Structure 1
């Protein structure tokens, strides 16, 4: 498994908060499943924070069901991205997932509902174009800058692992 460390400009040099999150990668016919926050025009790879005594795989599978309505099997954790920002250490664990069933039922948090979260299938090329534009946020939103940089790294590594080329 690959590990990447990203240090944002706002990192204070110490950690008071630690969060583990799991994110699921589903690729089908050259398209990747993403969450889209319509009210902020923001894309993200679906997933979220680990709860209580969950394994990382259980966290990924639960988060994917809640955010996408899909029952998935988390196959392998191919990447860990450690982000250091403010006084946080945020470790994202990225899994390749197989879809078992699309239930069509979402269980979004209030924050996700307020953000207008929905799912979209985008071509890998379009997703890499969107996330690859992270530098555009560097001066205006350090949070979006870090988010998009992280997701660009995750998708690039996924494509490398799956040996996907063609414009990426």
Structure 2
């Protein structure tokens, strides 16, 4: 089992995602990745965002905790032994959005970053699909107390 983090960055009605080609298809995911030994969750969010989107973010509150249990999902043939606990934080980016996507250290399957309008999220390549209604509710209702949302994948 490993601990992981993701950044939920919504600006002007758009969600910042990492575009990647993985499992033989294109998908958009939240910026994030695995927590390293000795690193706090917030430090992990910042490191992953610097690597994947090229900027240091302001890490705000913990919004959601989910799990990815590979054997339960469509990618089971690749991930059957994978179990990840994911901590999802609300984050904001610096006011200079021109820095996004520059000086990144992308994962091998990352092909860029993309802002997806929240109103188009349901029809996008966003993964995991089960997270879409949760993100839409968060955008419209705002305040959330850290909520365990279960096995997502």
Question: What's the TM-score once normalised by structure 1's chain length?
Answer: 0.66
In the TM superposition, residue 70 of structure 1 has moved relative to its aligned partner by 1.6
Counterpart among 61, 65, 74 of residue 76 in structure 1: 61
Question: Does 2:39 align with 1:45?
Answer: no
CA distance, structure 2, for counterparts of residue 64 and residue 161 of structure 1 = 25
Q: Using the TM superposition, name which of 54-63 and 92-101 deviates more.
A: 92-101
Residues 92 and 161 of structure 1, relative CA distance in 2, 3 Å threshold:
farther
Q: Secondary structure at the match of 1:63?
A: helix
Correspondences of 1:1-168 after superposition (within 5 Å): 18-37=1-20, 40-85=25-70, 86-100=80-94, 102=99, 104-109=102-107, 111=108, 115-130=109-124, 147-152=127-132, 154-159=134-139, 161-162=141-142
In the TM superposition, residue 59 of structure 1 has moved relative to its aligned partner by 0.4
What is the aligned-residue RMSD (CA, Å)? 2.4
Task: List structure 1 runs of 4+ shifted beyond 3 angstroms.
Answer: none
Aligned to 2:146: none
Residues 58 and 68 of structure 1, relative CA distance in 2, 3 Å threshold:
same
CA distance, structure 2, for counterparts of residue 71 and residue 20 of structure 1 = 20
CA distance, structure 2, for counterparts of residue 22 and residue 153 of structure 1 = 19
Q: Secondary structure at the match of 2:124?
A: helix
List gaps (5 residues or longer) in structure 1: 1-17, 133-146, 164-168
In the TM superposition, residue 99 of structure 1 has moved relative to its aligned partner by 1.3
List gaps (5 residues or longer) in structure 2: 71-79, 144-153
Structure number with bigger Rg: 1
The one of the two structures with greater contact order (alpha-carbon pairs below 8 A, sep at least 6) is 2
In the TM superposition, residue 127 of structure 1 has moved relative to its aligned partner by 1.8
Q: How many pairs were matched up?
A: 128
